[in-house]
Amino acid sequence: MKENRAQTSAEFIFLIGVLILLAMLSVVFIAGENELNVAMGAARSGVIGGIGESSTAMYSIGAYDDYTNSKSNLMHPYSVDIVNITYKELGMDSNYGKKKIQFKVYAKSSNKYSKSELDSIGDRINYNLRKSLAVCFNSTSSTNKLYNPVFSPHYVFTTANVKWV
C-alpha cells in the first residue's frame, strides 16, 4: 500500500513540475505580446493626439511661420481620418540589440492637399505617435528631440511615412 502512494506522489510532483515549466514558458511569450499590445495602444493614442493637434491648426512658432509662408492651407482647421495603424517586425537591430518594429499609419483627408502639405500632416502624426510611445515606455531621455527611434525593454520603434489613401 505505501508503495502505491509513493508512486502517485512522484507522478503528481512530476506533473506539477511540468505545469510550472509550461507556465514559465508561457509568461515569456505573453510578456512580449503584452509589450506590443501596450505599444499599439500608445501608438493609437499618439495618432489621435496628432490629428487633434493638427486638425485644430495649433502649431509651434517655427511650424506656424513655415506654414504661413509655404503651406497656407494648413493654417485652417481640417479633417483627417485614420483608416488603419499597423506594425511589422523588421528583425534584430544590430545597433541596439533589440527587435525593430516599424509602425505605419494609413489616413485619408476629404480636402485636396499638395504632397508637401500631406507630408507635413503625416510628419506631425508620426511625431505624436513616437512621442506617445516614448512617454508610455518612459524612454524620453534615451531618444532624440524627434523621438526617433523610441526604445522599450525589448523593441526599437520607428515609423514609416503616412500612407494617404
The pLDDT tens digits for 90-137 are: 999 999 999 999 999 999 987 788 888 888 889 889 999 999 999 999
Within-domain flag for 90: yes
Residue 27 belongs to a domain: no
Determine the structural domain holding residue 119 and report its residue range. 34-164
How far CA 51 is from CA of 21, 37, 108, in Å, comes to 46, 21, 11
* Confidence (pTM): 0.79
Core vs surface per residue 39-61: b (16+ CB within 10 A) or e = bbebbebbbebbbeebbeeebee
For residue 15, is it within any domain?
A: no
Task: Tell me what the mean pLDDT of segment 58-68 comes to.
Answer: 76
45 alpha carbon, distance to own chain's centre: 9
Give dist(CA 119, CA 26) in Å, integer.
42
Give the count of domains, the chain.
Answer: 1
Structural domain contains residue 14? no
1 lies in some domain: no
Q: Look-up: residue for cell 494617404?
A: 164
In a domain, 18, yes or no: no
